[in-house]
Amino acid sequence: MSPPSKALPPHLETRLRGLKQVEREQRRRASAVKNRALLQLAEAVQQASEQILAANREDIASLKAETTAAFRDRLTLSPERIAGMITSLNQVAALPDPVGEIVEDRILKNGLRLQRVRAPLGMLFMIFEARPNVILEAFSLAFKAGNVILLRGSSESLATSHEIYKVMDAALGQQALSPSPFFGLEDYDRKLVDALLHRSDLIDVVIPRGGDKLIQMVQKTATMPVIKNDRGLCHAYIDATANLDMALKIVVNGKTQRPGVCNALETVLVHAAIAEQFLPRLFAATDAFSLQWHVDAASHAILKDFARVDLAKPEHWDCEYLDLILNCAVVSGIDQALAHIDRHGSRHSEVIVTANAASAQLFLDEVDAAAVYWNASTRFTDGFALGLGAELGISTQKLHVRGPVGLQELTCPRWIIQGTGQIRD
């Protein structure tokens, strides 16, 4: 309804208006049609896996020498990662269709029948950096939930993205889903992104997936709603009554199993009563990973003779390292732990390890995060692990969805109201 506020090149304007038209069909597409298309797409990806890997090698070869290992890793596809993409497509096909789900159904005294029925969000716009595997994850979830999606990757993965888009177009075309219910934007001019972020007349929701800078830019610029996949600065609080073997497992898993992801741990807070016992054991358990430690004075007094342990600077407590670096502080008890998390946490995932149910309950109640754990690894905050099938990221905002963005979160209920001529008095 609102007039376009920034101009797009005419061919792109036409393409997006076409996608908006497809949205009307996509909204009501039968589950069987959608599922068949996803299975077909899984097969097509299987058949094209060599070409996709070759394109990916091209992208990797074009990387600048100074590219970080973490970025290189996120960009790299392997036969295993392609197998993961295929599994995910098959899983999404097998999930129940959220569109049309009746979430409420009641009859008012005046005879009006009220239903709230899940409907697609409409046109999604995902902006992502590196990780070409998110293309299929994002498309499959958006598509199954009845949406159309505009995808815009970063130029570092342009060959890989191009190959994947080609496979998608061909497979969807074979299912008579042409024009495609997605559009992969391959013009990497940043001005286009800026213009698109002003098009709330076309785009219903924007989902940025990438670093702080991207997310802040989208938050500042977008005139349509944003589902924010922000940073994860996750803490483990090891209480005085914690089973220390369990605590070790949970911290080691949270920090080392995949340090580059948002549900990895950055900071461990240890109750003073067990710090002397726990910290040397934690050091030993992580020694093989050559962790760098940034610690408070009390932890330093305990760990000072160990290698790679230095005093934390104030800014360290706010750092999402995404790397083999761990902050550590000794706290006097749960209140201090809660205050630390309230001040430094990013509302993503937080865990208490304790045998004391009252402390656990206090922690679960008080910590304001998308996912709060008692005696389990924060690494479970993810669509697969929580049984949502797949995810389009982890939301740390509080509107619409907290935590993994799955199929259901790509819909919203609307009201269907049936009467026999009722009017308002």
Pick the binder of a copy of itself from 223, 241, 292, 336 (CB under 8 A). 223
Q: Cβ of 402: how many Cβ atoms within 10 Å?
A: 18
What is the x/- site pattern for a copy of itself, positions 289-328, by CB under 8 A? -----------------------------x----------
125-164 positions binding a copy of itself, by CB under 8 A = none
Work out whether 370 is an interface residue with a copy of itself (CB under 8 A): yes
Work out how close the CB of 418 gets to a copy of itself at its nearest, in angstroms, rounded to a whole number.
Answer: 5
Q: For residues 325 and 249, give the distance between their C-alpha atoms in angstroms, rounded to a whole number.
A: 17
Number of shown-chain residues binding a copy of itself (CB under 8 A)? 75
Q: How far is CA 214 from CA 198, 209, 269, 278, in A?
A: 16, 8, 30, 39
Query: What phi-psi label fits residue 235: left (phi over 0), alpha (psi between -120 and 50 degrees) or beta?
Result: beta
179-198 positions binding a copy of itself, by CB under 8 A = none
Q: Which residues pair with 149 in a beta bridge?
A: 124, 182
- CA triple 353-327-310, angle to 5 deg: 135
Pick the binder of a copy of itself from 17, 28, 191, 304 (CB under 8 A). 28
Pick the binder of a copy of itself from 47, 68, 155, 422 (CB under 8 A). 422
SS3 361: helix
Question: Smallest Cα–Cα separation from 268: which of 323, 325, 226?
Answer: 325
Pick the binder of a copy of itself from 243, 292, 336, 356 (CB under 8 A). 243
Pick the binder of a copy of itself from 1, 32, 65, 176 (CB under 8 A). 1
Work out how close the CB of 285 gets to a copy of itself at its nearest, in angstroms, rounded to a whole number.
Answer: 12
Work out whether 87 is an interface residue with a copy of itself (CB under 8 A): no
378-397 positions binding a copy of itself, by CB under 8 A = 379-381, 385-387, 397
- From the number of C-beta atoms within 10 Å of its C-beta (0-12, 13-18, 19+), residue 256 rates as middle
Pick the binder of a copy of itself from 216, 289, 301, 310 (CB under 8 A). 216
| Rg, Å, the chain Cα set | 24
Using CB under 8 A, which of the segments 66-74, 178-186, 274-282, 399-407 binds a copy of itself?
A: 399-407
